[in-house]
Amino acid sequence: MTTLITGGSKCGKSRFAEDIITCSSGRRIYIATMQPFGSEAMATIEKHLKHRQGKGFETVEKYTDIHEISLNSDCAVLLECVGNLCANEMFSGERMSMPSAKVVAGIRRLAAQVGELVVVTNQVGSDGVEYDKGTAAYIAEMGRINGGISQFADNVIECVYGVPIVLKGVLPC
C-alpha cells in the first residue's frame, strides 16, 4: 500500500503520516531526506525526532539516490520529504539536474519492496508568483514528481489545517 500525503507548510502532514505508520505492524522505517544544514534545518529535524520518539522508528538518512535503499516486505516506511529529496538531487552536484524520473522510479522501487509506504511531499507552485529560473525549475520538477507518484499511489491525501482530505483511494488506518 502506497500513500502520498501532500499539503502546505506546517499543515499536519508529518504527524498524519506517522499515525499511519504506527498502525502498521513490522519494522517502522523513517527515511529522512533533510540534510542537517543550518539552525532552521536542525530545529525541524529535532521537532520530527521528538514526534517520533517512543514510536519504534528506525531512521535511515538518505539525501539522494533513493533507489539504492533495499528493505524487506515486512517494513512500514515513512519517506520524508520529497521536497528535500528533489532539491538535494537538483542542486547537490556541480550543475542543476532534472531528477523527476529518477526520484519517481526510486520511490516506485521502494513501494514494490515494502508492505506500507507513506510518502510526504509539499504542495508548491500554486501561489501564482513568478520565481527565478532555478526555483521555477524546482517547482516544475516537484509537479512532475508528485504527479508521477500519484499515478501509482493507492491513496493520495491532502492535509489542510491538520485535516486529511482524500483525493484518491481511502483514508488509511
pLDDT band at 11 (very low <50, low <70, confident <90, very high): confident
What's the rounded Cα separation, in Å, for the pair 101 and 105?
Answer: 6
pLDDT above 80 for 127 = no
pLDDT band at 149 (very low <50, low <70, confident <90, very high): very high
CA distances from 150 to 50, 118, 131 (A): 29, 12, 25
| Segments making up each domain of the chain, as ranges | 2-167
| Residue for grid cell 525526532 | 49
Structure confidence at residue 5 (pLDDT): 98
Structure confidence at residue 155 (pLDDT): 98
Give the residue-averaged pLDDT of 125-135. 81
**Are the CB atoms for 5 and 159 separated by under 8 Å?**
yes
**Are the CB atoms for 164 and 15 separated by under 8 Å?**
no
Q: Report the 10 Å Cβ neighbour count for 14.
A: 21
pLDDT digits (tens, 9 = 90+) for 66-81: 999 999 999 999 999 9
Summary mean pLDDT of the chain: 91
Q: Report the 10 Å Cβ neighbour count for 76.
A: 24
What's the rounded Cα separation, in Å, for the pair 103 and 88?
Answer: 11
pLDDT band at 113 (very low <50, low <70, confident <90, very high): very high
pLDDT above 80 for 141 = yes
- Provide the angle, in degrees to the nearest 10, between the axes of the packed helices 82-91 and 100-113: 130
Largest CA distance in the chain: 45
pLDDT above 90 for 51 = no
Cβ-Cβ contacts under 8 Å for 94 (sequence gap 6 or more): none
- Write down the CATH number for the domain with range 2-167: 3.40.50.300
pLDDT above 90 for 158 = yes
